Amino acid sequence: MQFHPTALMLPGAPHFLISEAVRGEGARLHDATGHSPVAGLAGGDLAPRDQVSRALARTMAAQGVDHVWLDLRPVGEQRLQSQFPTIVGRCRELGLEPLTGSIPVAPAAHYWMGGIGTDLHAATSVAGLYAVGEVASTGVHGANRLASNSLMECLVFARRLAQHLARSLTGGAMATTAPRLATGHLTAAGRAAEHPLLQALQQGLRQLCWNAAGVERRGDLMIKALAQLRQQRQDLEHWPQLRQLSQLEPGTGLAVERDANAGLRAQVDLQHRLVLAELLIEAALFRCESRGGHHRTDAPASQPFWQRHTLQQIGRAIATGAVT
């Protein structure tokens, strides 16, 4: 996971990303006393985003605070208004005035590096399944993704996929088959009691991932978190609605009562989050080194023999593969 160093940190407000370009134009980070948390980095405010994120996280932990400050005023009012109107406008919507004072910022999880392995046509190892964008591992990102590369990646691979499908489908359209409905249906039983629990579990999952697989990671914490995640996922998958859903045969549908739909979607969403969190922490625990956005305090140096991909496949132990 790559962390963006400067997300707006305002209670009750979305963590709006403050572009690193503002620091390129002169904006400066500082703590509550006015000292720079990145002064010790080569490049200071313009150091790589993983280094800046770690410096901010360490400062926040040492001072017992949940944010530092970003002063946009050195950019100049005219350049701020002309080059960063969205940032200025969003800050004002939230009651901040970036032209007269600093704004609160903190690192935030930003971009999932890796994902589902694909070829150069966006095809996965499953016939008929394609992946484009952040979900895909195309091979064009290294250990520390460059800012804004994701947009170009989406454009390039979406176009390649469209061209590939156009060639594949020449001479005939894709056949579609309506799913068969299974006997039985999902009801809204227990829905009122489930929603608060699901919300609490999701919030707990966010905190667990931040503590165990955040900007800095440590093996013993990840071992405990991984065991906890696996237990939570197994418990959730025994809930009646998810168990009924998991027993469907391929190509089979299931009638869902209107009032049960929201609860079922929340359960499936949490299940997916638990699976992804488990995969992330398993991979971070497996890689006993630090490389780009993955930093382990118990293994702080990069190791040449770890310059390989991490491979996770159903039914197989986690392993490595050559970088091609």
Task: Give the span between the Cα atoms of 300 and 288, in whole angstroms.
Answer: 9
Q: How far apart are CA 245 and CA 243, in angstroms?
A: 5
Contact predicate 139/324, CB 8 Å: yes
Tell me which DSSP letter residue 66 carries: S
| DSSP label at residue 75 | G
Which among 28, 49, 90, 287 is annotated as catalytic? 49
SS3 296: strand
Between CA 151 and CA 149 the distance in angstroms is 6
216's tokens:
């800095």
Spatial contact of 213 and 281, defined as CB atoms under 8 Å apart: yes
- What is the identity of the amino acid at 89? G
CA distance 155 to 108: 25
Identity at 7, one-letter amino acid code: A
76: left (phi over 0), alpha (psi -120 to 50) or beta: left
What's the DSSP call for residue 3?
E
Q: Are 184 and 244 in contact (CB under 8 A)?
A: yes
36 φ, ψ to 5°? -85, 125
218 is catalytic: no
Catalytic positions are 49
